[in-house]
Amino acid sequence: MNIVEIHDFCFAYPDCSSKVLDQVNMEIQEGTLNVICGRSGCGKSTLLRHFKSVLMPHGVSSGTVLFKGEKLAEVDHRTQSQEIGFVMQNPDNQIVTDKVWHELAFGLESLGYDNETIRLRVAEMASYFGIHQWFYKGVEELSGGQKQLLNLAAIMAMHPSLLILDEPTSQLDPIAASDFLETVKKINRDIGTTVIITEHRLQDIIPYADKVFVLDKGTVFLEGRPSEIGQKLREQKHGMFLSMPVPMQIYGETDSSAACPLTVSEGRQWLAEYFHTKGISRELQQKANDRFLAEKTAQQKEQQPSSGREPAIEMKDVWFRYEKDSPDVVRDLSLQVGKGEFYALVGGNGTGKSTTLSLLSRVRQPYRGRIRLEGRDIRTYKDRELYCGCLGVMPQNPQSIFLKKTVLEDLYSVIGGKKEKLSPEYQVHMKKEKAIEGIVSLTRLEGLLDRHPYDLSGGEQQRLALAKVLLLRPRILLMDEPTKGMDAEYKEEIGRILNKLKQHGLTIFMISHDVEFVAEYADRVGLFFEGNVVTSQNTREFFAGNNFYTTAANRMARQLFPDAVTGKDVITCLRNSN
């Protein structure tokens, strides 16, 4: 039986000539786990919001959406609230009360359940989700992963038959994200709740999907089982193949006729079988790894080592707390980033990474210690001097820097607006129109200039935020989760942009939970834990030595190629061994 059916559905935002969704047809069977994926801006989030009436965006639509055989528009509000659960991208946007226990009970109270039922369901959910240990805490004390788990538990307390999740792990660290998705799989497997999820972290969810839908240009481009989808994307050389699980991507670069691996475990077994079938000895595997390492070492020697760079960012003995009597969030932090270096900071939610970035951007000030940018105390800069030409800050929430009603107006607002004269400093570089044209091309915003910034997808908003920051021509770029909500294809483009900027001397300091992106593009990586950087290493050394904060490719192939960190590294080693 189908729980959701969509027939010839189209949708366009107000004042937009192009449709975001165009002739979408989809059937979701009851009790299944379904993944909807596609490039940033393909219409995934817009489609999900049409599965619940109160979340539907304003615009022009046609076609039919059915829930349990009935038109969704005719299903009453109470039934939708109880039967259709929705988890959003940002955990903070969904929490409405001040205490954990009250948040669990809020939905049930709103539906008018009696106290006995509410107490029973709250206790059941707290036990099932492991929330009992922080049951009486204030929600402001929770980490990002705990907040998202609380949102999920509060929804499941209403016993929905359909659970919709819109990139629920986009703001979670790798371990918290993996735990959250395991819980989603458990709900589907143990309770039988139908799940529809959009994700850019397909590694942890797509192997367990009953059905995968690939959206492209507002319509369902492909649908089928995970292995079938991967095979079709590979055959058509479609950009979404880069978003498929790493074992599948590595498999796709070989001539193997074995079953396609989807998980790290399956990937290990397939590699062992592949070498056995090819007759490649352990000695040849070792030689392939040694050759690969020699090539990478030679490439690193051509680049200026971080130890020999003039420092662009210096933090010395920095301490910070939010309140006078509260515990320290940043503790005795010392850190140095060289000019023209790409430094990435990884670590769990709530460890103090974003607070550190706020100190570097002078949004907050430490109560002890010193921060220097390009050798100068950060406190001595005037605001215009600091933020126009020296420091560019891309926040975790891109909406916080959107000011105008259209993308084009928002871009022009950075350099004074269409009718205002440019500052003399900016005229030295380029004319206004050329600046906008260049940045639009660089960040691929061409078809979005008439859209409202809030109507963009998460990945498109990230691109607009980056465009606005780069228009100020900073020498130091601070980025908080810049790849959040982006598809793998555009991540590659962002990586190329950052590499080009780095070659022109730009210093990049990035906080990220995207270990695959960090492993591909960063020069050095630091692990943040309890308010401090516990280690800073060259990227390859960092990821090759970790069990959890490492890439899927390294976990899959480390027994054979211990120095291979990315999927491309493993593919290179495989070719070296033939």
DSSP 108-168: HHHTT--HHHHHHHHHHHHHHTT-GGGTTSBGGGS-HHHHHHHHHHHHHTT--SEEEEEST
**329 Cβ partners below 8 Å, 6+ apart?**
320, 321, 322, 352, 355, 531
Other Cβ atoms less than 10 A from the Cβ of 132: the count is 14
C-alpha pair distances (Å), 68 with each of 31, 84, 523? 12, 11, 52
Spatial distance between the Cα atoms of 162 and 188, rounded to a whole number of angstroms: 10
Domain coverage including residue 453? 399-471
* Neighbouring-strand partners of residue 282: none
User: Is 109 inside a domain boundary?
Assistant: no
Do 377 and 523 belong together in one domain?
yes
The tokens for 500 are: 């080009």
Residue 306: its pLDDT value, please?
A: 54
Do 85 and 184 belong together in one domain?
yes
526 within 8 A of 335, measured Cβ to Cβ? yes
For 99, which DSSP code?
Answer: B
Spell out the alpha helix ranges (H) of 256-328.
Answer: 264-278, 282-302
User: Is 139 inside a domain boundary?
Assistant: no
The tokens for 499 are: 């590499």
Spatial distance between the Cα atoms of 555 and 559, rounded to a whole number of angstroms: 8
The tokens for 522 are: 């960063």
Residue 175: its pLDDT value, please?
A: 81
At position 111, the amino acid (one-letter code) is: L
Helix count and strand count (H, E) for the chain: 21, 20
Among 222, 240, 258, identify where a domain stops: 240
Residue 429: its pLDDT value, please?
A: 43
User: Is 120 inside a domain boundary?
Assistant: no
The tokens for 379 are: 């406190």
User: Is 125 inside a domain boundary?
Assistant: no
The tokens for 210 are: 């009953």
Per-residue pLDDT of the chain (578 residues; tens, 9 = 90+): 899 999 999 999 887 778 899 999 999 999 999 999 988 878 898 999 999 999 998 889 999 999 999 999 999 999 999 999 999 888 888 899 999 999 999 999 999 999 999 999 999 999 988 888 888 888 888 877 788 899 999 999 999 999 999 989 887 888 888 888 999 999 999 999 999 999 877 888 999 999 999 998 889 999 999 988 988 888 888 888 888 899 999 998 888 888 889 999 999 999 989 888 888 888 888 888 888 888 777 776 666 555 567 899 999 999 999 888 888 999 999 999 999 999 999 988 778 898 999 999 999 999 999 999 999 999 999 998 998 889 999 988 888 889 888 998 999 888 775 544 444 544 444 467 788 888 888 888 888 888 889 888 777 888 899 999 999 889 999 999 888 877 788 888 889 889 988 988 999 999 998 899 999 999 999 999 989 999 999 999 899 877 778 899 999 998 888 889 999 999 988 888 87
Do 219 and 365 belong together in one domain?
no
Spatial distance between the Cα atoms of 442 and 436, rounded to a whole number of angstroms: 10
Do 322 and 441 belong together in one domain?
no
528 within 8 A of 346, measured Cβ to Cβ? yes
Smallest CA-to-CA distance from 34 within 201, 163, 175, 176 is with 163
The tokens for 262 are: 């989807």
Residue 323: its pLDDT value, please?
A: 85
| E strand or H helix that includes residue 408 | helix 407-414
C-alpha distance across the termini of the chain, in Å = 49
User: Is 359 inside a domain boundary?
Assistant: yes
**175 Cβ partners below 8 Å, 6+ apart?**
348, 548
User: Is 114 inside a domain boundary?
Assistant: no
Do 24 and 84 belong together in one domain?
yes
Do 571 and 486 belong together in one domain?
no
Spatial distance between the Cα atoms of 268 and 255, rounded to a whole number of angstroms: 17
371 within 8 A of 309, measured Cβ to Cβ? no
Q: Could you tell me where the beta strands, DSSP code E, fall in 226-381?
A: 311-320, 330-338, 342-347, 368-373, 376-377
Among 442, 471, 500, identify where a domain stops: 471
* Residue 188 backbone dihedrals phi, psi, to 5 degrees: -65, -40
| E strand or H helix that includes residue 516 | helix 515-521
User: Is 424 inside a domain boundary?
Assistant: yes
Here the CATH number for the domain that contains residue 21 is 3.40.50.300
Do 185 and 231 belong together in one domain?
yes
345 within 8 A of 356, measured Cβ to Cβ? yes
Do 498 and 464 belong together in one domain?
no
User: Is 554 inside a domain boundary?
Assistant: no
3-state secondary structure of 13: coil
44 within 8 A of 212, measured Cβ to Cβ? no
Do 317 and 369 belong together in one domain?
yes
10 Å CB burial of residue 102 (0-12, 13-18, 19+) is middle
Residue 308: its pLDDT value, please?
A: 60
- Total domain count, the chain: 4
Do 8 and 55 belong together in one domain?
yes
Among 223, 240, 257, identify where a domain stops: 240
Do 86 and 169 belong together in one domain?
yes
Do 56 and 16 belong together in one domain?
yes
The tokens for 253 are: 């670069």
